[in-house]
Amino acid sequence: MDLREIDQFAKDIIFEAGKRIRDAFSYDIKVETKADANDLVTNIDRETELFFIDKIKAFNPNHKILGEEGMGEGIESLDGSVWIIDPIDGTMNFVKQHRHFMITIGFFVDGIGKLGYILDVMREDLFYAIEGEGAWYNDSPLRRLNPLPLEEAVIGINASWIAPNRRVNHEKMIELVHKVRGTRSYGSAAMEIAFVVSGKLDAYISMRLSPWDIGGGTIIAKEVGAIATNLKGEPSSLLAQDTFIIANPSIHQEILKNYIEEK
């Protein structure tokens, strides 16, 4: 398997999809709500996923595809060559802000992450990695993350997890908020993961993410030394919803051990 060739193919279709989305802003955006009112879906979201499926099937009909919009076949294992795709991560930002939404893609072979991509669509900024070769932000190599004490960390976390919730002891999360230098929340998991791998945030925590939210990002994480796991400290599931933390290696264990108490 020629990873370089697949990497070039992936970049080509990601940038083309980004351009299609930017162009589509000249048209009205039709929005419908899924069961969860927080989860807006747009036509563009679906069209972008179909675009990726068509391109990948033409590139290699044996490759399997797992996408947020479910336009690909359902998959039950990561055997073989698998693309995990979120055509638009941060749908509410997309609808409301017309910025801060990402295309994110991971390419796995027999469950091993080989290529990872996060494109900030409106900025045309690409974070990406090739397994064992490193990670880049556009044309610049991403450096391995420098250690820092938790007191100096800025972490991405949504307000829902600081309020009482069914997933974790929020009292512990409040302690974490008081411990760190600052918190941020951007409304796009892939954006927050891209910020962690590039040192713009030092950690990002979520109690409920799907494989397509994290697939690409976990591959980039590995190349810069960021640690990405679920809240038990194990690899997050790539076939089902799971909890998630990605962090600078110097604070990953400390956050898990002292501040996360799952219910």
Q: Which residues bind a copy of itself (CB under 8 A)?
A: 37-38, 92, 96-99, 151, 154, 157-160, 162-164, 174, 177-178, 181-187, 195, 199-201
What's the Cα-to-Cα distance from 70 to each of 33, 73, 78, 118, rounded to whole Å? Answer: 16, 7, 16, 19
In angstroms, give the least distance from the CB of 140 to a copy of itself: 12
DSSP 168: B
Of 85, 13, 83, which is closest to residue 45 (Cα–Cα)?
A: 85
Nearest to 212 by CA among 95, 79, 86: 86
Q: How far is the CB of 7 from a copy of itself (least distance, A)?
A: 26
Q: Which residues sit in the known binding site? A: 68, 86, 88-89, 213
Task: Between 94 and 117, name the residue whose CB sits nearer to a copy of itself.
Answer: 94
At closest approach, how far in Å is the CB of 167 from a copy of itself? 14
Q: Which residues are annotated as a binding site for Mg(2+)?
A: 68, 86, 88-89, 213
Closest distance between a copy of itself and the C-beta of residue 158, in Å?
Answer: 7
For a copy of itself, the closer of residues 43 and 160 by Cβ is 160
Which residue, 106 or 156, is less far from a copy of itself as judged by CB? 156
CA distance 170 to 160: 9
Distance of CA 174 to the CA centre of its chain: 25
Token pair belonging to 239: 């076939």
64-67/81-89 β-pairing = parallel
